[in-house]
Chain A
Amino acid sequence: MNRFAYARPATIADAAQLLARPGAKAIAGGTNIVDLMKEGAETPDLLVDLRRLPLHDIRETDGGGLSLGALVPNADTAYDERVSERFPLLAHAILAGASAQLRNAATNGGNLNQRTRCYYFYDTATPCNKRAPGSGCGAIGGVNRIHAVLGTSEQCIATHPSDMCVALAALDARVKVHGPDGERVIDFGDYHRLPGDDPSKDNTLAAGEIVTAIDLDAFDCGHNWTYLKLRDRLSYAFALVSVAIALRIDGDTIVEARIALGGVAHKPWRVVEAEALLAGKAPDDALFATVADRILAGARGHGDNDFKVELARRVIVRALGQAVAGTPQTIADKRIA
């Protein structure tokens, strides 16, 4: 770990100013950046501790929505009664990730900004365009069981590892950020980016910008939701494939469908056109398969992760079944309905 300057500003304005400096990085819960600094995968010159900023609350917003403070721990968010009642999909996605200890420390803002788990990104003796632009991508042609099958580039096939973000994508969350030019709001789908020619950038946050809150509009899907995660052991592992689904159903008809995939791309993966195939239709396995195919159009494995394409297809179909039946996947019961 390198030596760095440290500041713990008390105001968002001060924090933004500090974060605009070259080499500045934010720390909140620390669960990701400290890990990466120990590996030498992150080497900040200045670490800006955000924990004193007034972003520790979950607030009500108009129309039954919630504004999740960036510094609220993941666990507190998941266990907040308002969250678990109004956005059980989000609560369950959070609890499907990491461990109780990590969820107690990790913050909402930090969850959005956590970096990939790609082996090559972590290992400084190996090439990685995300960590060391221009050095190449070790995962292409290498060990890539956990890597992306959608939205990849010749430069990078890393995935975004979050579970929480998959639910936030499905819930059409908005990310509130504060920067040198004041506040702005980023639609969740625009927050993370695909690797393209610049895998070093995970998201669209500009220098000096701080995530202050994640806003959720009310979305009543009753029991017609699920977060289904497949992984290499039954807990405490990153997703091979996960899916967040929220449906609004009227009688026998799906009114609206939201489907986001995790573990398959550089960002939570949503295909609005595929979701639209479900609108106005009665639930049906053949239809689900068509939707899955549309979501996975263009999906391509890189060797070890070839199985993810078929697995994702099956997970989508199964999860749609769970959501339609109103039997969401629970965290402790490992049987998959």
Chain B
Amino acid sequence: MATALSSPTSRIGDPLSRVDGRLKTTGLANYAADFPVEGLTYGVVVSAAITKGRITAIDATAARAAPGVIEIVTHENRPDVVDKDKVWQDMVAPKGSPFRPLGDAEIRFAQQPVALVVADTFEAARHAATLVDIRYEAASHVTDLTEAEAGAYNPKGDGTYSPEKSRSDLANPLGNTKAHVEKVYQEAAHRVSGRYTLAPEHHNPMELFASTAIWKPDGSLFIHDKTQGAQNSATYLAGIFGLKPEQVHVVAPFMGGGFGVGLRPQYQLFLAAIAAKMIERPVKVVMTRQQMFSHQYRPNVIYDIAIAADQAGRLQAIRSDCVGATSRFETFAENIVDWCARGYRCDNIALDYRVAPVDTYTPGSMRAPGAATALNLFEIAMDELAYEVGIDPLELRLVNYTSKDEISGQPFTSKALDKAYAEGAERFGWSKRVHAPRAMTDGRELVGWGMATGVWETLFQAHAVRARLRPDGVLEVATASADIGTGTYTIMTQIASEEMGMPVDRIDAQLGDSTLPKAPVEGGSWGAASIGNALVLACTALKAKLLKAARKIDDSPLANAAIEQVEFVGGQIRVKNDPARAIDLTDLVTTEGGPIEVEETGSPKMLEAAKKARNTHQAVFVEVKVDEQLGQIRVTRVVTAVAAGRIINPKTARSQILGGVVMGIGMALHEETMMDHRLGRFMNHNLAEYHVPAHADIADIDVIFVDEPDHEVNPLGIKGLGEIGIVGTAAAVANAIFHATGVRVRDLPITSDRLL
């Protein structure tokens, strides 16, 4: 991704404009369905009309006779592929038996793909898809979580739930304390308990899932895919088609939004590949928006929370029991219940988490999976407790502030949440808040101020990064991860620019290609920290290699110079105390006669503080104005203070937080996929009736990054930002609504009717 025009060097911390901005704003950034392909054909998916049962007959006669139709793929004629669960389990698959598109006659979920119509134009395929006559025998289904709850099970196996790691100094070891916690709860001065729920949500990235499959004469497979992990798609297809990994090449340089739904391969990928194999021509399959509701979603939950505090608001007991939806063929589990026990000082904690199978596709990770669910509900309960105790909601958080992870007992590498509370409250004007609900008004509207805490993990995954100085003087830095809008191309460019002393326009960051150095899927907010640190390793190695080459040149001005004695500045290697002794990097690589390159892997092993907790935090403050009589809720102001270590690019960083906050507002007020349980079908499967926030819904959002130097979390001190903006935001909105109206709603989203 080389930028146009001249550019200076950039450093970590600069607000560099996105290096892919010119492509994205001029329509030249090619997403999965945008690439011109010679001889392309079009596949349109036929979706099942029932939720559960089996196909009894398929009559494709009329469809086959329709103009332009090339092939109709169904379970009846789909060629055999490797059928082992193991190959169908992608890198991030939950345990279970993954869905095989067109694998058999069985229908497992609504809108399951049941046929793929391939034609020489999109329109011909779309038309013929309406002509495929499919008969079904329906079976009874369960999609209502309250009904399915009876069959809930511990996703980790038999027995009671236990968190990953728990500290030993608790009065009552975790996972075994229900009776004790209940006793403490009952005896406490202040108690809050209740059932909290979150509706199913769909990610709805703006880009539709799309794949184009091209089989090459040598038997290899080339794919344009919409994915957060090009190598995940590649190994998935290689396994299914019995190919060597290097025989599948997946490219996805741009991704029109993921939010987690692009972590796993979706069914259009396999369908494009199998159809292209059958007809021996390239096939492009693009889902419809309606079909975007036929796969992963953020599982709805039933969450029972009980918390108790003493007179001063100090937490005495937390009980956190959650049941989340999963499918019948895979066990999707999230870390939900631990979150509420990690962040506040409390010695008596009982946790339980179960999943209940329903007849839908397997739910999946969606922005801050688990934490967004947990804390956007638990932080409502905390607000209730503040009112129960009679102290300010922020004060309650401060009273229970902890500097260690309360489950593992580990101290944090850094935790500037206290600063975030202070700076956020100051900017918001929290001290002017009147504690009592319904006390603040603006004309006819009730005004509410609410706040909440958000927490997310700082994760680190092994990434290999290649740094290659090309003969044209351009430095390529590359890994097989993705930039799903987060700004990865840009921060890679910045880091490389700083490390190598090269101008931004001579750096070409590359992502989204399975042939690039090994990387996991892009998710979990681990990209910046993992790639950034690996990139520094690669640059360091490259510098050594460049110096070595420079020293070998005849009459080299750098002969005998040690790495400590030189610096990389302005596209040169030069001696620090004698800058006239320098070699231009372009000259060097020209002399060398070919690129000079290195590949380095940054792995979690490089982290020193393995025994410490590593988290990002946000303190989010929200103002709502509520027309109580008509139930209209407006979020008029948001201030969020984020403690996320070192910020590489404040411009793109701020955008990530804005995005999380906006999605949090959607979670609070709008987003709900509504299921007709009689049909087992999501009914508002479109963007007109599945409401995400629009321009008019989003007013001012003020993002503060508090200073949080962290020399332990990883060498660069980066923590990641993709998830944290949503965690707590919906709760802050809900709490502001309570403050405005005195109405406590424990179910998200809070639609207008909840206030009438």
Residues of A within 8 A of B (CB): 1-3, 38-40, 117, 119-120, 122-126, 138, 141-143, 145-146, 230, 232-238, 240, 304, 307, 310-311, 314-315, 318, 334-337
Contacts and interface: CB of A to CB of B under 8 A. Distances in A.
B445 interface: yes
Interface in B448-467: none
A142 B674 CA distance: 10
Contact of B696 (A232, A236, A238, A240): A236
Nearest to A228: B630
B418 to A, nearest CB: 35
Contact of B634 (A119, A234, A238): A234
Contacts of A232: 670, 691, 751-752
B694 A336 contact: no
A335 B686 contact: no
A307 B753 contact: yes
A117 B630 contact: no
Contacts of B679: 126, 138, 142
B631 A230 contact: yes
A334 B123 CA distance: 41
Given A123-B681, A141-B678, A314-B629, A335 B445 contact: yes
B625 interface: yes
B753 A334 contact: no
B678 A336 contact: no
Contacts of B444: 335-337
10 contacts: A120-B683, A124-B49, A126-B681, A234-B634, A234-B694, A235-B694, A238-B688, A307-B753, A311-B630, A311-B631
Given A232-B670, A236-B696, A238-B688, A334 B634 contact: yes
Contact of A117 (B67, B127, B689): B689
B273 to A, nearest CB: 26
Given A237-B688, A336-B444, 19 more contacts: A2-B127, A117-B689, A123-B681, A123-B683, A124-B49, A125-B47, A125-B49, A126-B676, A126-B681, A230-B630, A232-B691, A233-B670, A233-B694, A235-B696, A236-B696, A310-B756, A314-B629, A334-B632, A335-B625
A115 B445 CA distance: 35
Interface in B653-705: 669-670, 674-676, 678-679, 681, 683-686, 688-689, 691, 693-697
Contacts of A125: 47-50, 110, 681
A145 B691 contact: no
A315 B630 CA distance: 7
B149 interface: no
Contacts of B50: 125
In the complex, the 10 A-B pairs of residues with the closest C-beta atoms, listed nearest first: A235-B696, A307-B753, A125-B49, A119-B683, A234-B696, A143-B683, A142-B676, A236-B694, A143-B674, A233-B691
A143 B676 contact: yes
Given A146-B689, A233-B670, A336 B684 contact: no
A235 B49 CA distance: 32
Nearest to B695: A235
Nearest to A305: B753
Contact of A314 (B630, B685, B691, B697): B630
B7 interface: no
Nearest to B67: A3
Contacts of A123: 290, 681, 683, 685
A1 B697 contact: no
A233 B696 contact: yes
B634 A307 contact: no
Nearest to B698: A234
B691 A237 contact: yes
A334 B442 CA distance: 13
A122 B686 contact: yes
A336 B632 contact: yes
Contacts of B678: 141-142
A145 B751 CA distance: 11
Contacts of B443: 335
A334 B697 CA distance: 9
A311 B48 CA distance: 37
Interface string B34-49: 0000000000000111
Nearest to B684: A119
Interface size class of B (residues with CB under 8 A): 35 or more
B683 A142 contact: yes
B674 A145 contact: yes
A123 B288 CA distance: 13
Contacts of B686: 122
A123 B48 CA distance: 12
A320 to B, nearest CB: 13
Nearest to B126: A1
Contacts of A38: 126
Contacts of B681: 123, 125-126
B694 A1 contact: no
Given A123-B681, A230-B632, A232-B670, A311 B689 contact: no
A235 B697 contact: yes
B49 A117 contact: no
A119 B50 CA distance: 16
A236 B634 CA distance: 15
B109 to A, nearest CB: 13
B256 to A, nearest CB: 19
A23 B419 CA distance: 68
A311 B674 CA distance: 21
Nearest to A126: B679
B627 interface: yes
B130 interface: yes
B170 to A, nearest CB: 45
Nearest to B48: A125
B65 to A, nearest CB: 12
Contacts of A124: 49
Given A40-B130, A311-B753, A233 B693 contact: yes
Contacts of A233: 669-670, 691, 693-694, 696-697
A222 to B, nearest CB: 23
A143 B675 contact: yes
A98 to B, nearest CB: 10
Nearest to B685: A123
B121 to A, nearest CB: 12
A219 to B, nearest CB: 26
Contacts of B110: 125
Contacts of B670: 232-233
A311 B688 contact: no
A232 B669 CA distance: 8
A2 B128 CA distance: 8
Nearest to A3: B127
Interface in B601-640: 625, 627, 629-632, 634
B286 to A, nearest CB: 13
Nearest to A40: B130
Interface string B64-78: 000100000000000
Contacts of A240: 752
A335 B443 CA distance: 9
Nearest to A123: B683
A79 B370 CA distance: 48
Contacts of A335: 443-445, 625, 627, 634
A310 B669 CA distance: 20
A146 B689 CA distance: 9
A21 B632 CA distance: 47
Contacts of B688: 117, 237-238
B453 to A, nearest CB: 26
B35 to A, nearest CB: 24
A38 B288 CA distance: 10
Contacts of B67: 3
Contacts of A146: 689
Contacts of A40: 130
A218 to B, nearest CB: 32
Which of B684, B689, B694, B697 gathers the greatest number of chain A CB atoms within 10 Å? B689
A138 B679 CA distance: 9
Interface in B703-756: 751-753, 756
A337 B630 CA distance: 11
